[in-house]
Structure 1
Amino acid sequence: MLPRLRHAAVVAALVCALCCAPAGATYSIVACDAAGDCGAAVATHNLAVGASVIYAQAKVGAVATQFETNPQYGPKGLALLARGVAPADALQRLLEEDGGFDGGDIGERQVGLVDARGRAATHTGAAAQASAWAGARSGEGFAVQGNGLASAEVLEAMAEAYRGGRGDLSERLMAALRAGQRAGGQRIGAMSAALRVATVAGGFQDIDLRVDAAADPVADLARLDDQFHAHQAMLGAERAARSGDAAAARAQRNEALRLSHQWDRIWRRAARLAMQLGEDERALEYLGVFASANPVWAREEVDDALYARLRQRPQFVRLREGLGAQEPGG
């Protein structure tokens, strides 16, 4: 607890003791990596958590504002971090200038901040702390925080998973979120989850994925992140093929298919790439999966001139007949 806020925290604790605390159920992680990418991931028992809880800016930092969210903390926190204000001082400013958003106060705020230099700060107000279990942990380059959790093990598991995670920042954030779920997650269940990563490269490298309402939002979010990476891998495969590096194209394509979760678009592009690489058998295999996932689109696809050299192959003929495709020009 920050020193200048102790008196306010005591008052909030007394108020909390006299009334029922809200049923909070949220856990999140904010982090920045050595490259300057910054991001956050969150899960909660509420609707559309990605709309107002997590914020990130490359080479600056990330913010999570939860329990009784004050959405002003995100933009204000990032602006302070961008000016070089340390996370602890930025957090102090946010709490001092809370302004009673939505009738709440700092006792109802739970906040995590991290900057691109790896410094982190957290705050769990008295009302938030009263929701069993609530707390926060931080380390070099990250902070995890939660309320209404099954136990302290949720945050411990998240911190361990992030520290030991491999891959890019989004994959490490998702590893932490999934570890938190495996450790028990929210005591009263889950409803939505979100992932946001602001990259130094920017543009389509940035990630903003949301599951606004689902029975298993963390699993659904993990699938979306896999599919994001599947798309990136397929783009890499197509670039490699254009440059004449067939081995790299195949490796990237295989990675895209591994992460696709049967996404029809990825299998269609894999089939087209196989034709480009002279892999007719592979193309037929991939077209079969694509047709199973999206027969309407596949009915159009098999008539493309790209597949002309397959037209007399029995497997291709059976595929077209099964789809009810017409002969071109027929």
Structure 2
Amino acid sequence: MKTWIGAMVLVGCASLPGSASATFSIVACDAGGSCGAAVATHNLAVGATVIHAQARVGAIASQFETHPRHGTRGLALLALGRSAPAAIEVLLSEDGNFDGQDPQWRQLGVVGASGDGAAFTGRHAAASYWAGSTSGPGFSAQGNGLVGAEVTTAMRDAFMRTRGALPERLMAALEAGRDAGGQKIGTMSAALLVRTPQGNWNDVDLRVDAAPDPVPALRNLLNLRQAHSAVLFAERQQRNHKLPEARTAIAEAMRLGKDWDRIWRRIARLSMTMGDQELALRALASFARLNPAWASTEVRDDIYRPLALLPAFQSLSINSTDQH
């Protein structure tokens, strides 16, 4: 049984004929060379198989009946300089009827690091409730089993009007698709993937493998990641003696990560370093509310010694210890 379950997850949307007829995605690259994708589907763990990206190369979504080789092969073609339409043509010619299904079971969205995005929707994919795509400069939005064309249109419009880094633009597009009606039968999983030229911690790879409403859950994950990035930025600004910039970043971290205990702990410690005792107390109170057990040990750290005689800190320390 364990082997069968593992195979199902790895194959993803290609596991059962017709089972994946409810997916919408967007692939895109920005002017800085970052490339990525966002996707939601009515199936388990969509981020494990459907979307692929490489900085300065492109991004691919392989859906409806996912072909597990189209992602890596498509990126290799884009890296060789093939355009998105040309890469799709090669992928379909090399399909090999994987899992007993010919190219008419595929839906592909492809974009290179430069040029327009492109998509393909096979005949069987097109037979789902509604299937189609909207492509343009630097992006392609596609879906099947959707309530209508308004889904990919909303994704396009949100992507084009949203400002900021690529992860935010992709997330906004996915949210717009959901809000426009999304998939006729609902969703189960969602994912966001962005590969950056800088790589490492700058990349984004977030997944909601199973949830009743995965797109808002994915947004929450992105917010938490951005909150963490804001705290790291604030710490760098403090070390560079740029306190106004640090305070602005702290405010952003508080807004995005208000329910993450680790964010409040770092803000408390950073505030002490900056000499802002009032903010430190506020952060410690939120930290203790979210994780009293951890707070009970945190308040004993020497960094908080300047707060020791303050009634608010004494109360916080007692309450945290009582709940340990």
Shorter-chain TM-score: which interval?
over 0.9
C-alpha displacement at 1:160, in angstroms?
A: 0.2
Q: Is the 8 A contact 1:110 1:122 kept in 2?
A: yes
Tell me the alpha carbon deviations over residues 204-261 of structure 1, each in whole angstroms, 9 at most, x when there is no partner. 0001100000011000001111111111111100000011111111111111111114
C-alpha displacement at 1:77, in angstroms?
A: 0.2
CA–CA distance in 2 between the matches of 1:291 and 1:105? 57
Q: Is the 8 A contact 1:300 1:325 kept in 2?
A: no
Counterpart for residue 137 of structure 1 = 134
**Is it true that 1:156 corresponds to 2:153 in the alignment?**
yes
C-alpha displacement at 1:119, in angstroms?
A: 2.4
What does 1:222-237 correspond to in 2, within 5 Å?
222-237=219-234
Counterpart for residue 241 of structure 2 = 244
User: 2:56 is matched with which residue: 55, 59, 73?
Assistant: 59
Q: Tell me which structure has the larger Cα radius of gyration.
A: 1
CA–CA distance in 1 between the matches of 2:81 and 2:243? 46
CA–CA distance in 1 between the matches of 2:139 and 2:148? 20
User: 1:29 is matched with which residue: 26, 30, 37?
Assistant: 26
Tell me the alpha carbon deviations over residues 3-55 of structure 1, each in whole angstroms, 9 at most, x when there is no partner. xxxxxxxxxxxxxxxxx955600000000001110000000000000000000
Code of the aligned partner of 2:210: A
Counterpart for residue 120 of structure 1 = 117
**Is it true that 1:297 corresponds to 2:294 in the alignment?**
yes
Q: Is the 8 A contact 1:27 1:186 kept in 2?
A: yes
Counterpart for residue 42 of structure 2 = 45
Counterpart for residue 184 of structure 2 = 187
User: 1:265 is matched with which residue: 262, 265, 274?
Assistant: 262
Tell me the alpha carbon deviations over residues 133-182 of structure 1, each in whole angstroms, 9 at most, x when there is no partner. 11011010000000000111000000000010111000000000000000
Code of the aligned partner of 1:83: L
Distance 1:22 1:318, change over 3 A: closer
C-alpha displacement at 1:118, in angstroms?
A: 2.8
**Is it true that 1:307 corresponds to 2:304 in the alignment?**
yes
Counterpart for residue 93 of structure 2 = 96
Distance 1:261 1:97, change over 3 A: farther
CA–CA distance in 2 between the matches of 1:184 and 1:140? 25
CA–CA distance in 1 between the matches of 2:241 and 2:291? 30
Give secondary structure in 2 for the equivalent of 1:309: helix
Q: Is the 8 A contact 2:20 2:65 kept in 1?
A: no
Q: Is the 8 A contact 2:108 2:120 kept in 1?
A: yes
Tell me the alpha carbon deviations over residues 267-321 of structure 1, each in whole angstroms, 9 at most, x when there is no partner. 1101111111111111101100001111111111000000001111111111111
**Unaligned 5+ runs, structure 2:** 1-16
CA–CA distance in 1 between the matches of 2:265 and 2:99? 48
Aligned residue pairs, count: 307
CA–CA distance in 2 between the matches of 1:215 and 1:315? 41
Counterpart for residue 287 of structure 1 = 284
CA–CA distance in 1 between the matches of 2:19 and 2:294? 48
Q: Is the 8 A contact 1:299 1:320 kept in 2?
A: yes
Q: Is the 8 A contact 2:21 2:144 kept in 1?
A: yes
CA–CA distance in 1 between the matches of 2:146 and 2:86? 28
C-alpha displacement at 1:94, in angstroms?
A: 0.3
CA–CA distance in 2 between the matches of 1:142 and 1:31? 4
Counterpart for residue 105 of structure 1 = 102
Distance 1:263 1:136, change over 3 A: same
**Is it true that 1:321 corresponds to 2:318 in the alignment?**
yes
The two structures have a TM-score, normalised by structure 2, of: 0.93
Distance 1:24 1:261, change over 3 A: farther
User: 1:82 is matched with which residue: 79, 99, 124?
Assistant: 79
CA–CA distance in 2 between the matches of 1:325 and 1:302? 13
Tell me the alpha carbon deviations over residues 73-114 of structure 1, each in whole angstroms, 9 at most, x when there is no partner. 000000000010111111100001001112211111000000
Identity rate of aligned residues, in percent? Answer: 56
Give secondary structure in 1 for the equivalent of 2:53: strand
